Amino acid sequence: MGHVFYRRLTRSYPLAVRGDGVYLWDAAGRRYIDACGGPVLVNIGHGVAEVVQALAGQAGQVAYVHAIDFSTEVLETYSDRLAAIIPLPDARFFYLTSGSEAIEAALKFARQVQVARGERARDKIIARWGSYHGATLGTLAVTGEPRMRTLFSPLFQDQPHIPSPYCYRCIFGATYPTCELACAQALEAEILRHGPGRVLAFIAEPVAGSALGAVVPPQGYWQQAAELCNRYGLLLIVDEVMTGFGRTGRWFAMEHFGVQPDVIAAGKGATSGYVPFSITAVRQRDIETIRQAHGDFSHGGTFSHHPVGAAAALATLRYLDEHELVAAAASRGAYLGQRLCEALQDLLCVGEVRGLGMMWAVEFVADRTTKAPFPPGLRFSQRVSSLAFERGVLLYARYGTVDGVAGDHLMVSPPFVITEAQIDEVVSVLQEAICDAWEEAR
């Protein structure tokens, strides 16, 4: 315990010294399977030489330039490659260093576009409960995790929220498809409640991320939400920070739903964690609207458009492509989901196993019949994760699933290079950890 301000203040930390593929080793020589990709971002695996070499090469050539003075060849090349795969027509990219920054840029961009259109009265952004969009004050205003927001709520201007499409715990007490997508209809009701001339954008994750745990919306949800945004003049902002770059078995998760948003925020998998890097993707037509009205986009950042970050992102994109890892995320992800369901579906404390591609979650319950969660103080998911950690498997434990306070789930989202044998090992350890935690809790 040195001078580091650690993320968790009640535990000690082993020293990580090496990574290779899905494995990490600590200073004591102990090996761990990274079965969650950190906080769901290590897509290509640890220790990829091609990315390391690209970082070193770019740092030796041009490590930094101020983005208002220069562009760089690597940034231009990466942008061309990215434009070819992102589900956004005539895309342009604003580069920053974190998912929170990418979301901040998206929110500011949407506001500036609306003002440039002559819609200055539009000052509301509708978001969803059970969402995570970042930890800055601006992104907390649209984040839907109460436990993260409450302490800091006096410091930001809150934004309206609607329920998420969370079929396992439908807030409307309905069942798909007879529900007629009440969760999507809630968007229209909220727009009308504030007045269509006040709402500037709708922001959501295509597949719910860490706050709810890999919740895939029902068929038709995104089509209806996009139609409502178009009807009432809202920009549709999609948060692909976690889902982008192959995590769901497509380059971007919105491809599953056939919907083109107006703004896409991405990060995490862009560089697979090798350096901080994030992306706000927008349409050229909206940039032109801002240019004609205001001249420039009113935003920036010291490390924006960073050439070393772009080099890592380009090398990561090439690695994903050349090794067909997005297809691997789909096929091996299907195997992962199958094995999780087979091994866990009969455990009394498992409420639901859900996911898509290489992004899966297990929601825990104290009672399967009533779906009652465990008491929040028990931190059941954290206990499962700790027991798995002791057995050499890393999982991403989360809580507050039900209402921001109660409810437990954990995410199983390994790098795409994981093998079926390694998946079997992860599932076996997880099954043992859940059973042990359940025995302790009874």
The tally of CA atoms less than 13 A away on the side-chain side of residue 395 is 32
Average pLDDT over the chain, rounded to an integer: 97
Query: 260: closest CA among 284, 227, 293?
Result: 227
Query: Given a cut of 90, is residue 307 above it in pLDDT?
Result: yes
Residue 264 binned pLDDT confidence (cut-offs 50, 70, 90): very high
pLDDT digits (tens, 9 = 90+) for 151-180: 999 999 999 999 999 999 999 999 999 999
Residues 6+ apart with CB under 8 A from 280: 93, 94, 95, 96, 102, 105, 106, 109, 263, 264, 265
> pTM of the predicted model, to two decimals?
0.97
Q: Which residues neighbour 196 within 8 Å (Cβ) at sequence distance 6 or greater?
A: 232, 233
Residues 6+ apart with CB under 8 A from 182: 170, 172, 174
Confidence class for position 187, pLDDT limits 50, 70, 90: very high
Q: pLDDT digits over 416-434, tens only?
A: 999 999 999 999 999 999 9
CB atoms within 10 A of CB 269: 29
In this chain, the answer to whether the domains covering 16-34+324-441 and 50-322 adopt an identical fold is no
Per-residue pLDDT tens for 64-119? Answer: 999 999 999 999 999 999 999 999 999 999 999 999 999 999 999 999 999 999 99
Mean pLDDT on 199-223: 97
CATH architecture, domain defined by 50-322: 3-Layer(aba) Sandwich (3.40)
Domain borders along the chain are 16-34+324-441, 50-322
pLDDT at position 78 is: 98
Query: CA 110, CA 142: separation in Å to the nearest integer?
Result: 14
pLDDT of res. 1 = 66
Beta-bridge partners for 409: 363, 398
Task: State the sign of the Cα–Cα–Cα–Cα dihedral 363, 366, 372, 377.
Answer: negative
Phi, psi torsion values for 354, nearest 5 degrees: -150, 160
Give the pLDDT mean for 212-224: 98
Q: Which CATH fold topology does 16-34+324-441 show?
A: Aspartate Aminotransferase, domain 1 (3.90.1150)
pLDDT of res. 8 = 86
- According to the model, what pLDDT value does residue 433 have? 98
Mean pLDDT for 325-347 is: 97
Going by pLDDT thresholds of 50, 70 and 90, the confidence category of residue 7 is confident
Measuring CA to CA, which residue among 234, 130, 131, 220 is closest to residue 190?
A: 234
